Amino acid sequence: MVVCWMAYGTMLGVAQGGEAPRNSQTELSGNNVPGSFQVGTLDGGSGVATAGPQAKNRGEAVHRRRRVILNDDAGMLFQPISKPEDFVSEIATTIDTNVDSIWLSSMIGADLYVYDCKVGERAGERIYPGHEQQQGAAEAFEKLRANMKVMLDAGTDPLREVIRFGHRHGKEVFASFRMNMIQDSWRPNFQTQWKRDHPDWCLGVREMADLEDDPRSLYWSGLDFEKSPVRDQRVAVIRDICSRYDVDGMELDFWRWPAFFKTTLEGKPAEPRQVEIMNKFMRRVRRTMNGIESGRKRPLLLAVRVFDNEEISLKLGLDARTWLREGLIDILVVGGTYTYYSIETEKWVEMAHARDVPVYVCMYRPKGIERDRARTAYHMSRGAAGMYLFNWLRDPAEENAALREIGDKQLIHRKDKHYVMSGPFKTLGFRHVLPEHLVPVRLEHGEWRTATLRIGDDLQAAAAEGALATSTFQLTLQNFSPASDRLTVQLNGHSLEGPAWNGMQVSFRVDDRVLVLHDNQITLLLKRSDPQADLPVEVTGVELKIDYQQP
């Protein structure tokens, strides 16, 4: 048995029957300072992980229906709570929707945990020194403190309430672990004692906060995964949750926030040794969870959320291909911002399905029912098992209409959709992990240029069934003069005629024989009245509106 001494002097062990693998012992001793610990660990082991103890039931658990996975950020802790069940009042609006799985963020802010943790610091437990320098910090803390007290006094906590709610309604519940939170970067002090005790475990120093237009100003307070105590603490948190809560699994969310080594802050890709550090970390997590699983007699699943393509993930040090090959993960989630149609779903699916692992694609924030249907249709046509929602439920009444449809490709099969190709999203926090955008496309006088339209509807089949009403293709341009400039547009080699102009937008009715499932090639030829014009013409928007015959 592996024995772990956690903060507060609490002892946790692998459940009975969980044998510790050689060279993977971990001992943690509390020093009576909440959130602090001392660790001695050997990462150990580079071989392929064996299947979990509940392998005979694992396939059913891994491939259960998850039309929609809802990631909830525990934001209800900032709303009035008078009784424990108030915490799930927002989630409760999803009962009669396609949400089959609820993944609750295990933390708020920079590692303040929303459960009765034995490792780390609990949300609302204490406020950080210097908080008075930040507007609204005291009020936010008081809400956290009061709401957590309501729940703890009743013998429960947010994670326990979500588990109770989810299981009562037949929904799967995961704890979502955001792997590297950076909210300390814009606060006057670290939120947790263990960071205040060990600032050297961070990726940078506080002086970096003043750098302008530099990702180090955001990421300096992130944890450096080259430091073994950082990895030890992450494993200890996973053990704490999985050994004490009846979760169906854990998600390791690497999108929050994407920097794990100093090389990233230097604008360099992770080194091979850093990739192997993360591989060893993942092996250790899998062994830890397998040990706990053996005592609870049902599968304990491990999910990860990585980036839009394999290249970006590897650049950060995340070798998902190895994790899949070694059987370290059960569920793969990909994507995380507004780059909806740049996610390489088909490549991830091919890689994951070879290891019998389902893939889910992140839909970041709702965009309206027709656009949400379109995103679902595209990624599910590429092989996604369902959709993963992040930063939803801001307006449950409006969004629940979408939640009753998305994730079910048959239900949305012949419903109106609006495809809007991914444009630029250059926020400082994510620009280092974004793929190439589909727009903008710069046009040059007298030269053909290409763009791409990606769709998940088979319009030729729909037309053959008599189900298609109209399909309208639209471009948005910048610095174009409809009165004097000329633009030739072809779609899959077919010239589009009869343009309808509305300011800088031009639309065409498209013959149903022109568009194909997935990638459609757009070719454009610009003829300017003044070829020497200074401002370049760009295509800044590519859209397709599909209207079906209504019964």
Q: What is the residue whose two structure tokens read 């030829």?
A: 525
Contact 215, 429 (CB under 8 A): yes
Q: What is the pLDDT of residues 63-117, one digit of tens each?
A: 999 999 999 999 999 999 999 999 999 999 999 999 999 999 999 999 999 999 9
Other C-beta atoms closer than 10 Å to the C-beta of 347 total: 15
35 burial (CB, 10 Å; 0-12 / 13-18 / 19+) is: buried
Q: What is the Cα–Cα distance from 545 to 215, expressed in whole angstroms?
A: 37
Q: What is the Cα–Cα distance from 184 to 171, expressed in whole angstroms?
A: 34
Contact 127, 188 (CB under 8 A): no
Indicate the CATH number for domain 3-420.
Answer: 3.20.20.80
Predicted local distance difference test score (pLDDT) of residue 294: 93
Relative to beta strand 68-72, strand 386-390 is parallel
Q: What is the residue whose two structure tokens read 């090959």?
A: 325
Predicted local distance difference test score (pLDDT) of residue 399: 81
Residue type, 165: F
Predicted local distance difference test score (pLDDT) of residue 452: 98
Residue by residue, pLDDT tens for the chain (551 residues) are: 333 333 322 222 323 233 333 233 333 333 333 344 433 333 444 444 455 556 678 999 999 999 999 999 999 999 999 999 999 999 999 999 999 999 999 999 999 999 999 999 999 999 999 999 999 999 999 999 999 999 999 999 999 999 999 999 999 999 999 999 999 999 999 999 999 999 999 999 999 999 999 999 999 999 999 999 999 999 999 999 999 999 999 999 999 999 999 999 999 999 999 999 999 999 999 999 999 999 998 999 999 999 999 999 999 999 999 999 999 999 999 999 999 999 999 999 999 999 999 999 999 999 999 999 999 999 999 999 999 999 998 777 778 889 999 999 999 999 999 999 998 887 899 999 999 999 999 999 999 999 999 999 999 999 999 999 999 999 999 999 999 999 999 999 999 999 999 999 999 999 989 999 999 999 999 999 988 888 999 999 999 999 999 88
Question: Taking Cα atoms as reference points, which of 172, 166, 167, 169 lies closest to residue 67?
Answer: 172
Q: What is the residue whose two structure tokens read 């370049």?
A: 536
Q: How is the chain split into domains, by residue range?
A: 3-420, 439-548
Backbone CA torsion sign across 413, 418, 421, 425: negative
DSSP E strand boundaries for 296-432? 301-306, 331-334, 359-364, 386-390, 417-420
Cα angle at 117 between 114 and 119, to 5 degrees? 125
Residue type, 324: L
Predicted local distance difference test score (pLDDT) of residue 401: 87
Relative to beta strand 11-13, strand 26-29 is unpaired
Contact 475, 542 (CB under 8 A): yes
Residue 40 has phi, psi (to 5 degrees) of -130, 120
The residue count of the chain comes to 551
Q: What is the Cα–Cα distance from 476 to 499, expressed in whole angstroms?
A: 12
Residue 140 has phi, psi (to 5 degrees) of -65, -40
Q: What is the pLDDT of residues 146-187, one digit of tens each?
A: 999 999 999 999 999 999 999 999 999 999 999 999 999 999
3-state DSSP call for residue 524?
Answer: strand
Q: Superfamily assignment of 439-548 in CATH? A: Galactose-binding domain-like (2.60.120.260)
Contact 10, 95 (CB under 8 A): no
